[in-house]
Amino acid sequence: MRVNWKSWSLNKHQHILVKLAVAILLVGLAFRLLVSRSKGFASDLESPVLEKEQVQEPALKPPAPVEIPDNEDQIPLDVVAEKCDLFIGDWIPNPSGPTYTNESCPLIEGHQNCMRNGRPDTGYLYWKWKPRDCQLPRFNVERFLELMRNKAWALIGDSISRNHVQSLLCMLARVEQPVEVYHDEDYKSKRWHFPSYNFSISNIWSPFLVKAAIFEDNNGVSTAEVQLHLDKLDKTWTDIYESLDYMIISTGKWYLKAAVYHENDTIVGCHICPPGKNLTEVGFVFAYNKTLHHVMNFIAKSKHKGLIFFRTSTPDHFQNGEWHNGGTCPQTTPAKEGEFEIKDLNRILRDVELQEFEKAAAKAADNGVNLKLLDFTNLLLSRPDGHPGPYRQFQPFAENKTAVVQNDCLHWCLPGPMDYWNDVIMEMVVNG
C-alpha cells in the first residue's frame, strides 16, 4: 500500500491550522468574558442602578434614561463647581420642610415666631433655594460644628443680623443646645457658647457700624434725630474685631432714618433735617458712602487672618404703604420671576454697598484679608411670603378678625427663607 505523503502532509497541515484557529477563538472568548466581568464589577461600584437597567433591557433596545435622584450633596459631572453663582437660582418645592420648628427651637424672637403667633398658612415652609448652575448641599450641622471647634463667630449689624443669628442657632441646636454667656444692658448684643466644641457665636448690635446716638424705642418710634459720627467706627464691634475668626458685617435700612451727620466732631449735614436748625440737607447716600468707605478701609487694611463676609442689605415687600403707614405683605407663595422689582431705596443702598465692596476687595486681597460678599438680594426678592406680616404679634386677630395691625414685611419668619442663607455660607466656608 502506497501512502500519498503529499496529500497526508497537506491534510495534516490543514488540521493544525484548524486547531490553531479554534485555540485562538477560545482564548479570545475567554478574554472577552474576563473583560466583560471586569467592567461589570466597575459598573457595580459606580452605578448599580445603571447596571441593573442594562441587564433588564432587551439587547435590541436603547437603555432607558437613568433619572438622577434629587441628591443635594451630589454635583452633576458637567458642572464646574468654582463657576457656580450661589446667589442666582430659584425656589423649588421642598416636601420635607424645615429642619426645625418653633417647638424644637426656643431661641426664636417673638416677632419672628410666625408659627407660635398663629400664622394659618404653612406653604412658605416648603421651599428650598436651588442655584441654577450647581447643587447646594443642605447645612450639615455636625460638620459645621467640627469646622468651628475652638473658633469664634460674630454677626454684626441691625435686627436683620439678629434675625439671622436666631436662624443659625436653631439649626445648630439640633446637635447641641447653645448656652447664653453674655448680653448687654439692653439685651441687644449677646453671645452663645457651644461647650462641646468650645465654639462661640456673638450677635453685635451696631445698626450704623459707626458711632451713633439713637433716640428710639423698641417699636421704632423716635423722639429725636439720630446723631451719626461718620468718621468714628463703633467700638462695640471694632474692639472685638481681632479676636474673631469669622464675622458677617452688614448695615443698611437705618440710614433711611432722620439723622444729623458729624465729622471731626462738627456737623456736616443731615437727612430729613430737623426744622428750625439751619442745617444742610445732604441726604442718606452721602452718609452711607462715607460710612462704608470707612468700614471697608478698616477691614482691608487690618491684615485680619480670619474670614470676613460683608452682607448687602435685604429687600422688603411692603405694599400699599410702608412700615409706619399701613403697608402689608399678604402673599402666601413665592413670587414669579419679574413679579417683584427691587424698590428704589433698596436699590440705592445696594448700589453703594457693591461699589464700596468692589473698591475694598482688591486692597483686602493685597493685604491678605479674606473678604467675601454675601448678596442675598435675588434669593429674597422672590419670597414676599416669608415675612411675618401681621403675625409679628401673638394671635393678632383672636379678638377681632378685621383688626388693623402693624405688618412686618422686612424681617423673616423662622423657620423660613433665611435658613437657606446658612446653606450658602457653609458652602463658601468649606469650598472658598
Catalytic choice (159, 167, 189, 313) = 159
DSSP string, 145-194: HHHTTT-EEEEEESHHHHHHHHHHHHHHTTTS--EEEEE-TTS-SEEEEE
User: Residue 74 corresponds to which cell in the numbers above?
Assistant: 451630589
Q: Measuring CA to CA, which residue among 276, 188, 278, 196 is closest to residue 237?
A: 188
How many CA atoms are closer than 13 Å to the CA of 326, on its beta-carbon side? 3
Task: Tell me the C-alpha distance between 239 and 233, whole Å.
Answer: 10
- Nearest CA among 310, 381, 299, 312 for reference residue 341: 381
Of the candidates 258, 236, 253, 261, the residue with the CA atom closest to the CA atom of residue 158:
253
β partners of residue 212: 228
Is residue 96 annotated as a catalytic residue, yes or no? no
Q: Which three cell numbers stand for residue 20?
A: 490553531
Distance of CA 185 to the CA centre of its chain: 31
The SS3 assignment for 412 reads coil
Q: Give the helix/strand (H/E) hosting 270.
A: strand 266-271
Q: List Cα–Cα distances, 199 to 83, 193, 285, 299, 372, in angstroms.
A: 31, 6, 38, 23, 22
Start-to-end CA span in the chain (Å) = 94
Question: Catalytic residue among 316, 408, 419, 423, which?
Answer: 408
Of 302, 387, 411, 419, the active-site residue reads 411
Residue 408 annotated in active site: yes
Residue 211 vs residues 93, 140, 222: alpha-carbon distances, Å: 44, 37, 18
Which element (helix H / strand E) includes 251? none
Catalytic residue list contains 387:
no
Q: Are 350 and 316 in contact (CB under 8 A)?
A: no
Beta-sheet strands, E only, within 319-426: 370-374
Q: So which residues are the catalytic ones? A: 159, 408, 411
